[in-house]
């Protein structure tokens, strides 16, 4: 058994060692020698209970300093003086029952030494702290989700993976889609986080998705006609043409796998793009079924041929052309002759009549006479609609047309022609507008401009002034015309008058009266007199009208008394403007106004304008009623009786050698002097 050390010496050594930075531990007080006994007079003390032995501590982080602890009484070391106990009150005298040897024992209070951790304890504590830190890092800080490689996969797989791993909805962002030949539409082409990297649920990730091939990318168009169906399929697959459709049909003329026809719909071969629609028809070779016998379709309707082709399983191709001899909608010819045999699935091509076509020449520059001669030709059966405008071309000249010159159109097509009215005429005498209200002039300008003119009218030549010559306020006292040019000083150049005809871009300047300069008594109001074209039916009629309404007139020269009551019409000039009987008009005059009357002989009277079309001769009764109504005499072919007039037979009208038929569309104009022959056939 090893020799025990002195406890206080060991404790002092431990203190000095710690000052030097060394660590010396003391295990228990049992390893040290007890203090020597001393012969002192015993002091009676309170009985002290023997302390129970305590277990040896494993960790003692902070032992309390100088805290007394009850230990088993041990003799004090020899070199340590014995501690004197505090004096205690003497107890009441009691019988001493203690053994005789009790007085020989000495009890001493021992201070428990300060404890420190052993290296093993420190190690265990460090491991525990590291474990706790690791668990905090693992569960709250570390990234555990492995980023997959989504390139080449559907965007739906990204969504499914995000839901399974509880990724935050704001973490995954979609970048703008890009066109790609390598990846199909909605397939991932790139990702911002590389595959295999550990991420957390809130790690930002950007996904780039393919829009598929670019439909606007130009593709070189091959020689489709000389390619096989297999080569076309390879071309379509290689260029990923999404709108190219290949269909097949039987053909006896084109070998199997070769092209029958193709059509580029929303583009062209020179500007062909991936998104261009291309329909290709390839041959399946001859049909495996039997043969059919072709009928004669000439003179039949196209509907009959369609029904036959459908029932015989024959492909039908329709071509159209104009024909003078075959009615519209009827078959002109067929590419397989009647009586020949053809396979089911083969193609029959028929040519269908569009009826009589009309060749449209270049009518621009035609005079009125040339245009009338062209329209009189029954082969030129079009509906002509004319519009007259002011233009520098001679009056009656065609200046534009709606149908393209050189084109062929169907009978009855509408042809719009613009006819020149030549230049407008402002005055027929040099003082025509003097004394007239300036608003009349502006209204005249508006009418001219509505028919293609480009005139202006305004008070350009002076302010309004009083005028004794033209005392009515608003009257024109002076006017002149400018032609839109300027002199060297920047002023407009005015002519000495408004010559006729008037330039289309002229400006008409006028000066207006504010009233008379002298104060005159107000004249008695004159009554208004309304003159219309109805009063011009004869010379006697207009003279009676003027006499009864106080209108002055000059008696026409060279007219005998016998002609006054003749029904020939007259011309009357009101305020310098000529008026005629054959157009509807109304003129308001004042009592005392003057007009000029001119008698129009029968040879001078303008011809009537009677519209005439095929609807006027739909049957014999309509034709006779039309000519009777318009005072046109006619002859009727023999053998036509009264009951036949209302029958729906064929009507042919010969007007001055030109034939018109009830079954053809036409429009023309008559003047009532024509020679008319009507031929009626109730059996047609």
Q: What is the mean pLDDT of each run of 10 residues along the chain (684 residues)?
A: 54 70 56 47 45 44 42 45 51 56 57 68 83 75 80 86 82 80 84 84 87 87 90 90 85 85 87 90 77 88 92 90 86 88 89 86 91 87 89 89 87 89 85 90 91 88 90 91 62 61 85 85 74 79 85 73 60 79 78 81 64 84 84 81 65 88 84 84 74
φ/ψ of residue 441, rounded to 5: -65, -45
Q: What is the pLDDT of residue 417?
A: 92
Q: Which helix (H) or strand (E) holds 611?
A: strand 610-613
Q: What is the pLDDT of residue 5?
A: 52
Q: Residue 17, SS3?
A: helix
- Count of residues making up the chain: 684
Whole-number Cα distances in Å, 503 to 204, 254, 367, 447, 498: 78, 69, 22, 15, 9
Q: What is the pLDDT of residue 366?
A: 92
Q: How far apart are CA 164 and CA 167, in angstroms?
A: 8
Q: What is the pLDDT of residue 72?
A: 44
φ/ψ of residue 545, rounded to 5: -65, -45
Q: What is the pLDDT of residue 69?
A: 41
Q: What is the pLDDT of residue 565?
A: 52
Q: Which of 48, 106, 50, 41 is nearest to 75 (CA)?
A: 106
* Residue bearing tokens 């399983």: 313
Q: What is the pLDDT of residue 466?
A: 93
∠ CA 450-455-461, nearest 5°, is 145
φ/ψ of residue 156, rounded to 5: -65, -35
Structure tokens at 374: 């062209």
Name 244's bridge partners: 278
Q: What is the pLDDT of residue 331?
A: 92
Q: Residue 133, SS3?
A: helix
């Amino acid at each position: 058994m090893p020799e025990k050390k002195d406890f206080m010496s060991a404790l002092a050594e431990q203190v000095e060692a710690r000052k030097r930075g060394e660590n010396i531990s003391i295990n228990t007080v049992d390893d040290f020698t007890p203090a020597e006994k001393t012969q002192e007079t015993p002091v009676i003390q309170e009985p002290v209970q023997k302390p129970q032995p305590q277990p040896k501590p494993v960790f003692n982080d902070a032992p309390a300093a100088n805290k007394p602890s009850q230990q088993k009484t041990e003799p004090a070391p020899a070199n340590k003086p014995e501690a004197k106990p505090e004096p205690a009150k003497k107890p009441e005298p009691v019988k001493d029952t203690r053994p005789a040897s009790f007085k020989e024992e000495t009890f001493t209070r021992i201070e428990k030494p300060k404890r420190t951790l052993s290296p093993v304890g420190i190690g265990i504590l460090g491991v525990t702290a590291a474990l706790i830190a690791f668990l905090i890092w693992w569960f709250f800080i570390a990234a555990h989700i492995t980023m997959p490689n989504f390139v080449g996969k559907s965007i739906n797989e990204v969504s499914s993976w995000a839901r399974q791993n509880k990724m935050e909805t704001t973490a995954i962002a979609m970048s703008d889609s890009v066109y790609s030949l390598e990846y199909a539409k909605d397939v991932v082409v790139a990702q911002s986080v590389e595959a295999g990297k550990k991420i957390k649920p809130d790690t930002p990730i950007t996904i780039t998705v393919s829009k598929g091939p670019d439909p606007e990318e130009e593709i070189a168009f091959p020689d489709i006609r000389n390619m096989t169906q297999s080569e076309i399929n390879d071309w379509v697959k290689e260029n990923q043409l999404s709108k190219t459709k290949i269909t097949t049909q039987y053909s006896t003329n084109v070998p199997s796998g070769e092209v029958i026809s193709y059509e580029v719909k929303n583009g062209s071969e020179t500007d062909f793009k991936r998104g261009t629609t291309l329909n290709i028809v390839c041959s399946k070779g001859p049909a495996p079924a039997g043969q059919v016998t072709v009928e004669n379709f000439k003179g039949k309707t196209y509907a009959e041929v369609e029904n036959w082709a459908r029932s015989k399983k024959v492909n039908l191709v329709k071509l159209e052309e104009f024909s003078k001899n075959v009615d519209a909608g009827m078959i002109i010819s067929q590419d397989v002759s009647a009586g020949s045999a053809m396979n089911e699935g083969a193609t029959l091509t028929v040519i269908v009549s569009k009826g009589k076509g009309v060749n449209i020449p270049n009518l621009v520059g035609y005079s009125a006479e040339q245009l009338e001669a062209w329209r009189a030709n029954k082969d030129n059966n079009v509906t002509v609609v004319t519009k007259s405008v002011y233009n520098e071309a001679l009056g009656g000249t065609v200046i534009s047309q709606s149908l393209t010159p050189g084109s062929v159109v169907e009978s009855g097509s509408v042809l719009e022609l613009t006819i020149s009215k030549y230049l407008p005429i402002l005055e027929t005498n040099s003082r025509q507008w003097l004394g007239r209200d300036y608003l009349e002039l502006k209204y005249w300008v508006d009418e001219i401009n509505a028919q293609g003119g480009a005139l202006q009218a305004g008070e350009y030549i002076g302010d309004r002034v009083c005028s004794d010559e033209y005392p009515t306020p608003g009257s024109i006292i002076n006017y002149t015309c400018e032609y839109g040019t300027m002199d060297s000083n920047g002023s407009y150049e005015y002519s000495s008058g408004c010559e006729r005809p008037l330039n289309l871009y002229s400006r008409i300047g006028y000066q207006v009266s504010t009233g008379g300069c002298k104060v005159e008594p107000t004249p008695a109001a004159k009554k208004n007199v309304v003159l219309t074209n109805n009063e011009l039916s004869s010379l006697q009629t207009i003279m009676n009208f003027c006499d009864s309404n106080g209108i002055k007139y000059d008696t026409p020269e060279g007219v005998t008394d016998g002609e006054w009551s003749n029904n020939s019409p007259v011309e009357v000039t009101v305020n310098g403007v000529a008026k005629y009987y054959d157009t509807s008009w109304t003129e308001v005059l004042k009592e005392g106004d003057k007009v000029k009357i001119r008698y129009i002989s029968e040879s001078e009277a303008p011809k009537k304008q009677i519209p005439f079309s095929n609807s006027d001769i739909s049957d014999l009764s309509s034709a006779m009623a039309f000519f009777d109504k318009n005072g046109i005499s006619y002859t009727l072919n023999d053998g036509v009786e009264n009951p036949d007039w209302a029958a729906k037979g064929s009507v042919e009208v010969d007007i001055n050698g030109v034939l018109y038929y009830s079954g053809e569309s036409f429009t023309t104009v008559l003047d009532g002097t024509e020679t008319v022959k009507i031929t009626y056939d109730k059996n047609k």
